[in-house]
Amino acid sequence: MEPRRLLLQAGLTLLFLVTSSCGGHLKSRLALKMDQALLTFHNQLREEVQVFYTSDYCYKCVYQPLVTVKPNNNNASAVISTKFTLSVRVESQARNVTLCRWSQMYEEAGHFSVWILMSEAASYPSCTHAVDKRPNNAYLPLLVAALILSIIALLFVVAPFIYRRPCTSKFIKAICCQSPQYSVDNEIHASEAEHNTTKAKPARLRSLDTFRGFALTVMVFVNYGGGGYWFFQHAPWNGLTVADLVMPWFVFIIGTSVVLAFRSMQRRGVSRLQLLRKVTWRTVVLLMLGFCFLNYSPRDGPLSWSWLRIPGVLQRLAFTYFVLSVLQTFWGQKEIPLRAHHWWNPVQDVVLYWPQWLIIILLETLWLCITFLMPVPNCPTGYLGAGGIGDNGLYPNCTGGAAGYVDRWMFGDNMYRYPTCKEMYRTTQPFDPEGLLGTINSIVMGFLGMQAGKIIIFYKGMNFHILCRFLAWAVILGISAAILSKCTRDGGFIPVNKNLWSLSYVLCMGCFSFLLLGGMYFVSDVKGWWPGQPFIYPGMNSIFVYVGHSLLGFYFPFSWEMHFQKGHGERLFQSLWGTALWVLIAYLLYRKKFFLKI
């Protein structure tokens, strides 16, 4: 019995050692979450190797250590990100040479192996790849959601069309409306009376409410996580994602709304003093909402001045709205001249408001001078990079260049502490995407929206001219953005950058805004093909939806604790569910004729 007991004890001891040594490996396999994969390196060489990596999205970033693999058939594993393409290289510690390197985009939840061995055909090492476990299709939930939403949208389009058919309409009325007082003639007279009543009211621009609601709906979706997909989140630094589009669209609509609203108040005889009072009150309310409500979260504890963030989204919108309104109050109330033959007729909506253009040009000149000429301590003049490990690690504390320096000088630590570049570029400096310098270009973006409003007023009833001018502005702004960025993400004169609200970013977003507003104007207001549902409902209650989703976004039923975090399915469903709830709430408020105005 003694030999058997010793043998059993030896077997148990060996099993314990094996499971202990593999425990970390098994744990890493089980710890995989969304946008992660497992990469295992098998070293069959007689020397220790070290593996380094960097993301191809990270501009000129220093390679970071991943794992160290001991010699003689040892292995080591690492959990890697699957969001972007990775550049990996294997180096020999003893000889200080690179043995092999490659770039590859690994897929979610996959298990991959790299065998480092001596090549049979040559005398140098090689790296051979293998797939141990097939990855998941990370985009399958997105495709399913897009298909379902497309079917729902198609039903909403087809159902009214079928209902409006004469045969279908008579059939439905014959079944549902058996009252003797009912007749088709009564319906016709009622619809004519309703049409005449509606006609007597001033027409509301559906495309503007639809565009506002579309931008707000996308904003809610991306703020709820966008299903965890990287392209529904803000870009790490330069470049564009879906999340980078929505706020400039919103600012653009503010500019258009200011022109149309002030034009209406001008016709009603509202004085400049009354306009200034109204504008000041709205600005103060937006600022207070941004400071007191959207700065607070139950996860952070009681409101404290020590961490109160001074810049913010509503703060920027408030200041932008105030400046645009002042421009329109003092230099925008111009009567449209008679259509005489003048050389400046094709650009009369620009020439007539030359004081506004002069102020905007001075503001943009100020942004360019501060950004490219202002000396920043320990940083190159005109630096626009993320700092950290970017730009070969030469400027680790220069995040945002002059924009970051001005904000840190003005606000100290009362800034956004988790910029989008922090994870990839490993930055240590706080940087606020709603900082002071970016607010200047936010005003420029809103002014482009004002230009759209002036076009609508000047060419009222001339839809072809309105659409042509929208297209011309889109082409001019798009070409300008392409020149400044050189059609590249990082290599242009001024890269497209949402964090900085760079000039090329504003021009690019202005191009998209004119195209989108023009398209919606043609479809909704000119042709009447699409009344704007469902986006028109949140568009008419934008303040309520934005503040509401920001305050209640972390509470049930808008969100909940997820249990299946290894894929995008539940995260995408939660984002779509929360967004749909706010669209539904906006629709119910629309039915009740409740519109939150400030």
Distance of alpha carbon 220 from alpha carbon 222, whole angstroms: 6
**Whether the Cβ atoms of residue 312 and residue 434 lie closer than 8 Å to each other:** yes
Q: What are the tokens at 292? A: 């007191």
Q: Which long-range contacts (CB under 8 A, 24 or more apart) does 306-312 make?
A: 307/413, 307/414, 308/414, 309/414, 309/415, 309/416, 309/432, 310/411, 310/414, 310/415, 311/407, 311/411, 311/415, 311/416, 311/432, 311/434, 311/435, 311/436, 312/434
- Distance from C-alpha of 503 to C-alpha of 481, rounded to nearest angstrom: 8
Please give the single-letter amino acid code of residue 286. Answer: L
Residue 223 CA: distances (Å) to CA of 143, 242, 431, 479 = 20, 11, 19, 31
What is d(CA 439, CA 161) in angstroms, rounded to the nearest whole number?
45
CA 235 to chain centre: 8
Residue 114, SS3?
A: strand
- Nearest Cα residue to 35 out of 426, 563, 566: 566
Q: How far apart are CA 324 and CA 443, in angstroms?
A: 7
Buried b (16+ CB within 10 A) or exposed e, 397-422: ebbbbbbbbbbbeebeebbbeebbbb
User: Which is catalytic among the residues 234, 465, 549, 568?
Assistant: 234
- d(C-alpha 419, C-alpha 427), whole Å: 9
Interior CA angle at 169 toward 168 and 173, to 5°?
115
341 in active site:
no
Q: First-to-last CA distance in the chain?
A: 89
Orientation of helix 542-552 relative to helix 569-591, angle to 10°:
140
Between the alpha carbon of residue 275 and those of residues 253, 264, 322, the distances in Å are 19, 12, 11
Among 476, 2, 404, CA closest to 237:
404
Other CB atoms within a 10 A radius of the CB of residue 504 amount to 22
Q: Is the dihedral of CA 337, 360, 247, 287 positive or negative?
A: negative
d(CA 216, CA 218): 5
What ranges in 165-304 are assigned the alpha helix state H? 166-176, 184-200, 206-223, 246-267, 272-288
Q: Structure tokens of 500? A: 């900085």
What type of residue sits at position 349?
A: D
Catalytic positions are: 234
